[in-house]
Amino acid sequence: MALEGELAALMAAAQGGDAAAYRALLKACLPVAAAAARAQGLRGEAVDDAVQDTLMTVHRARATYDPARPFLPWLRAIARRRAIDRLRRDGRRPREVHDPLAYEGEVDPGPLPGAGLDARERGAALARAVAALPEGQRQAVEHLGLRELSLDETARLTGRSKGALKVNLHRALKALRASLTRGEDR
């Protein structure tokens, strides 16, 4: 309940023109908006996009907030709607087709014999390659790529800046690509 009162007070101050209160309010809204997005089924970058959409809506609709009413239900309603909008928008986008047979119009015959073994071998090779990365790069791949955490969540977990995480992920992907394509040539 303390959070409710705090947020309502920050919003009232922000409506009165207090820029510092407004910045603090938006920062405090981040975890609430992210939780609402995840509750709707969003993951990874889609959560960040929904949070951004939520903050933009809060910004545009801040004058409509009634300080006599609770703030959190107002915020959660906006966050839930922005997450649903994101799901709808993502659902309308055509998916890329990477299966060469799909271009020829043939029906997928199912997995080929031994395909499971190949997948296990590829998975094991990937696990070995990730384990061989330097710690910062390994953490970036594990948290951002495999667990699909946001940059903010990963930064909190690892103690690294978002910029460092981006650099580590880029370098890790480059190293993994080189390592795994060398393994195919053997």
Name the domain count of the chain.
2
Indicate whether 119 belongs to any domain. Answer: no
* Distance of alpha carbon 175 from alpha carbon 29, whole angstroms: 37
pLDDT in tens, the chain (186 residues): 468 889 999 999 999 999 999 999 999 999 999 999 999 989 888 899 999 999 999 999 998 888 888 999 999 999 999 999 998 887 765 555 555 544 554 555 555 555 555 667 777 888 888 889 999 999 888 888 888 888 888 899 899 998 998 899 889 888 888 887 775 544
Residue 27: give the domain boundaries: 2-92
- Written as six digits, the tokens of 148 are 């699909």
Q: Are 161 and 119 in contact (CB under 8 A)?
A: no
Q: Is the pTM of this model over 0.85?
A: no
State phi, psi for 94 to the nearest 5 degrees: -70, 140
55 in any annotated domain: yes
Q: Which residues contact 97 (CB under 8 A, 6 or more apart)?
A: 103
The CATH number linked to 66 is 1.10.1740.10
Q: Does residue 77 sit within a domain? A: yes
3-class secondary structure, 97: coil
Q: Which residue in 51, 76, 2, 59 sits closest to 25, CA to CA?
A: 59
In a domain, 75, yes or no: yes
Q: Count H helices, E strands: the chain?
A: 9, 0
Domain identity same for 87 and 133: no
Any domain includes 117:
no
Asked whether residue 166 is assigned to any structural domain, the reply reads: yes
